[in-house]
Amino acid sequence: MGIISSGFHGRRQTGNPALPPGQYETASFPVLTAGPAPRIPIGDWEFFISTEAGQRHAWSWDAFMALPQMDIHTDIHCVTSWSKLGTTWRGVSLDTLFENVETSSRFTMAHSYGGYTTNVPLPDLLGGRAWVAWEFDGEPLERAHGGPARLLVPHLYFWKSAKWINGIELTQDDVPGFWESNGYHIHGDPWREERYS
Amino acid sequence: MSTLWRVADVVSSMPETETARTIGLRVNGLNGNLAGQHIDIRLTADDGYTVVRSYSVAGAGMDETLEITVDELANGEVSPYLVRELAVGDQLEIRGPVGGWFVWKPTDTNPVQLIAGGSGIVPLMAMIRAHHASENPAQFRLLYSLKSPESGFYREELQTLGQESRKLSIDYVYTRKAPKGWPTAPQRLTPETLLASILPTDPAPDIFICGQTVFVETVAEWLVQAGYPAASIKTERFGGTGGTR
């Protein structure tokens, strides 16, 4: 146990098994980004997956919307310690998008419009654990929150759920992305409190 | 090393405004911090309950001490304790300093535009102090948006620096109450006031914006529309008040 502050009582939220260590619940949806939000017209939007062999799979907005859509109910956990429980999203599973992609890579780099990057191991994107989401709480995803579409990898800290997602590059090695190069953990599992590098 | 919790001694505690306090900490083995970085503070209640919050460091030191300025949030869990209860001689735990993005280094050569909303001044003050303490000749300009004169942090120091420094100029915007004799009535920041109060686009300054989410989003949007390159704008938000969706 650490240093005890006898005058500090706090507001107990522990005991909620949905909260990872060091997290508190918030009803709001804070916006955290490193710079201004880019503006991406739907007509210019595409989502790509590129492989180590140089293959490129790409979907226009219409092609993407024609894929099977899923409703996702999940908790999200930000590295700055807030968690938002029971959020609802709609989007396309990465399992669907990776269906015809041949690769032996074990790692990926997510690329966003505006230049943001974040690295995610491929197994963390598959098995019904990651989506490209375009709807939040029944409404089109706001630009401030990553619209038209963002990556949604809710079992990792939320900086891995790249806003304004443009595509996934398969990589041979686990290369640090933007926040991972700026002091944050290479993997980011909230249940292991993988916050900082 | 930044992931380890370390014990910090409270070595000073001074009121900054009616609701804010600047707290000085000494941490054995601390090796300074970069201007703009934050620390995590962990408090433990006597039954073992712990809570962690992040606070920007107000300076850029080279030694074992650092200062934070904490503004009390009306419904805060941690800030009322830090502002009202914590005293010199107390101890708490810190992690960090952390962050490698929203930072200014004395080796940076571009002009710098700082834009603060309320207590968003804290990491920007760290940059102002680091810049002032360095030989770095780059032009710095601060735009500080405040509710009222009394709500300003570091008032005397900023006033002195603004008058004496040739490489720093400061503009204020008062949103609810202006000082006596102020030429304009209190008003929210507008694109016109913003653009009249900051460094021009050429040569493009490095821009740091810190404040509540809405303030930061709005200002960043106006700057991009006015032709400031998005890649030159770095933002930091606080308060966790982003609405419910």
Tens digit of pLDDT for each residue in A3-56? 899 889 888 765 688 999 888 888 877 777 788 889 999 999 999 999 999 999
Q: How confident is the model at residue B1 (pLDDT cuts 50, 70, 90)?
A: very low
Q: How far is CA A51 from the centre of its chain?
A: 20
Q: Which two tokens stand for residue A31?
A: 């916006």
As a whole number of angstroms, the distance between CA B92 and CA B100 comes to 24
Q: What is the ipTM of this complex?
A: 0.78
Whether residue B242 has pLDDT greater than 60: no
DSSP H/E element including B196? helix B191-196
Mutate to test the interface with B, among A11, A23, A31, A77 (most CBs of B within 10 A): A31
End-to-end CA distance of chain B: 36
| Number of Cβ atoms within 10 Å of the Cβ of B225 | 12
Contact between residue B136 and residue B108 where contact means Cβ atoms under 8 Å apart: yes
Q: Is the dihedral of CA B42, A188, B73, B28 positive or negative?
A: positive
Q: Which two tokens stand for residue A169?
A: 């590059």
Tens digit of pLDDT for each residue in A47-96? 999 999 999 999 999 999 999 999 999 999 999 888 999 999 999 999 99
Tens digit of pLDDT for each residue in B36-89? 999 999 999 998 888 888 999 999 888 999 999 999 988 888 999 999 999 999
Beta-bridged to residue B14, according to DSSP, are B22
More confident residue, B74 or B215: B215
As a whole number of angstroms, the distance between CA A18 and CA A25 comes to 9
Cis peptide before B203 (omega within 30 of 0): yes
B82-108 core/surface letters (b: 16 or more CB in 10 A; e: else): bbeebeeebebbbbbbbbebbbbebee
Return residues 13-72 of B near A (CB < 8 Å).
42-46, 48-54
Q: Which chain B residues are Cβ-neighbours of A4 within 8 angstroms?
A: 44-46
Residue B4's closest chain A neighbor by CA?
A: A196
Contact between residue B227 and residue B242 where contact means Cβ atoms under 8 Å apart: no
Contact A5 B92 (CB under 8 A): yes
As a whole number of angstroms, the distance between CA B81 and CA B72 comes to 9
